[in-house]
Amino acid sequence: MTGIITRRALVAGAASGAGLLLSGCDKLAENETFRGILYQADDAHRVLQTALTPRSALATEFRPDQMSPIFRANGTLNPGGAVYGQHVAEKFANWRLDVSGLVNTPMKLSLAQLRAMPQRTQITRHDCVEGWSAIGKWHGAMLGDIMKAAGIKSSARYVIFHCADLYNGKNYYESLDMFDVFHPQTILAWQMNDALVTVPHGAPLRLRAERHLGYKQAKYVMGVEAVATLGNHGLGQGGYWEDNVDYDTYAGI
Ligand SMILES: Nc1nc2c(c(=O)[nH]1)N[C@H]1C(S)=C(S)[C@@H](COP(=O)(O)O)O[C@H]1N2
Ligand SMILES: [Mo]
How confident is the model at residue 167, as a pLDDT? 87
Residue nearest atom 24 of ligand 1, based on CA coordinates: 218
Instruction: Kindly state the average pLDDT of the residues 7-30.
Output: 39
Q: Is the CB of 34 under 6 A from ligand 1?
A: no
Looking at residue 221, its pLDDT comes to 98
Q: How far is the CA of 170 from the centre of ligand 2 (A)?
A: 16
**The predicted structure's pLDDT at residue 168:** 85
Helix intervals (H) in 90-227: 111-116, 143-149, 178-181
If pLDDT is split at 50, 70 and 90, which confidence band does 26 have? very low
219 lines ligand 1 (CB under 6 A): yes
Q: State the pLDDT at residue 50.
A: 56
Contact predicate 109/146, CB 8 Å: yes
Q: Which of 219, 242, 248 to mutate to test the pocket of ligand 1 (most atoms within 8 A of CB)?
A: 219
Length of the chain: 253
Q: What is the pLDDT of residues 239-252, one digit of tens each?
A: 999 999 866 666 67
- Give pLDDT tens digits for 44-97: 545 555 556 677 789 999 999 999 999 999 999 999 999 999 999 999 999 999
The mean pLDDT value of the chain amounts to 84
Q: Is 220 a pocket residue for ligand 1 (Cβ < 6 Å)?
A: yes
pLDDT at position 39 is 46
**Does the beta carbon of 155 sit less than 6 angstroms from any atom of ligand 1?**
no
Q: At what angle do helices 32-41 and 7-23 cross, to 10 degrees?
A: 140
**DSSP bridge partners of 120:** 140
